[in-house]
Amino acid sequence: MSTEVSNNCVIFTKEFETGLPVINEHFKFIERKINISSTKLEKDEILVKNLFMSLDLWLIGGLKTGTKSYLERFAIGDVLKSSCISVVVKSNNDQWKEGDLFSGFNGWEEYTKVTPEAAKQALSYKQYLNYALDNGIPLSYFLGILGVPGMTAYVSLYMIGKPKQGETIFISTAAGGVGQVLGQIAKLKGLKVVGSTGDDNKVEYLLNELKFDHAFNYKKVDIDHTLKEICPEGIDIYFDNVGGETLDIVLTHLNEDARVISCGMTSQYNVESSYGIKNLSVIIPKSILIQGFLVLRHYGEYHDSFQKEMLQWIKEGKLKYKEHVINGIENSPQAFLDLFDSKSFGKYVVKINDL
Give me the residues that bind a second copy (CB under 8 A), please. Answer: 68-70, 243, 247, 256, 262-265, 268, 273-294, 297
Cβ at position 320, least distance to a second copy in Å: 27
Give one word for 345, left, alpha or beta, with left for phi > 0 and alpha for psi -120 to 50: beta
What do you get for the CA distance between the two ends of the chain, in Å? 22
Q: 271 or 355: whose CB is closer to a second copy?
A: 271
Q: 286 or 351: whose CB is closer to a second copy?
A: 286
CA 66/CA 86 separation, integer angstroms: 32
CA 330/CA 227 separation, integer angstroms: 42
Report the greatest alpha carbon distance in the chain: 73
Q: 181 or 295: whose CB is closer to a second copy?
A: 295
Cβ at position 221, least distance to a second copy in Å: 23
Q: 133 or 277: whose CB is closer to a second copy?
A: 277
DSSP bridge partners of 284: none
Cβ at position 7, least distance to a second copy in Å: 31
Cβ at position 245, least distance to a second copy in Å: 10
Cβ at position 73, least distance to a second copy in Å: 13
Cβ at position 67, least distance to a second copy in Å: 9
Distances (CA, A) of 188 to 102, 154, 202, 204: 30, 12, 20, 20
Q: 268 or 353: whose CB is closer to a second copy?
A: 268
Q: 285 or 317: whose CB is closer to a second copy?
A: 285
Cβ at position 317, least distance to a second copy in Å: 33
DSSP 109: B
CA 55/CA 348 separation, integer angstroms: 5
Q: 264 or 333: whose CB is closer to a second copy?
A: 264
Cβ at position 155, least distance to a second copy in Å: 11
Find how far residue 89's CA is from the centre of its chain. Answer: 27
Closest by CA to 227, choosing from 216, 212, 211, 237, is: 216
Give the 3-state secondary structure of residue 210: coil
* Residue 50, number of CB atoms within 10 A of its CB: 26
DSSP bridge partners of 85: 52, 103
CA 260/CA 246 separation, integer angstroms: 12
Distances (CA, A) of 144 to 2, 65, 71, 246: 36, 27, 18, 25
Cβ at position 162, least distance to a second copy in Å: 13
Q: 46 or 155: whose CB is closer to a second copy?
A: 155
DSSP bridge partners of 350: 53, 326
For 47, half-sphere exposure in the C-beta direction (CA atoms, 13 angstrom radius) is 14
Q: 1 or 284: whose CB is closer to a second copy?
A: 284
Q: 39 or 69: whose CB is closer to a second copy?
A: 69
Cβ at position 180, least distance to a second copy in Å: 20
Q: Which amino acid is at 141?
A: Y
Q: Which amino acid is at 319?
A: L
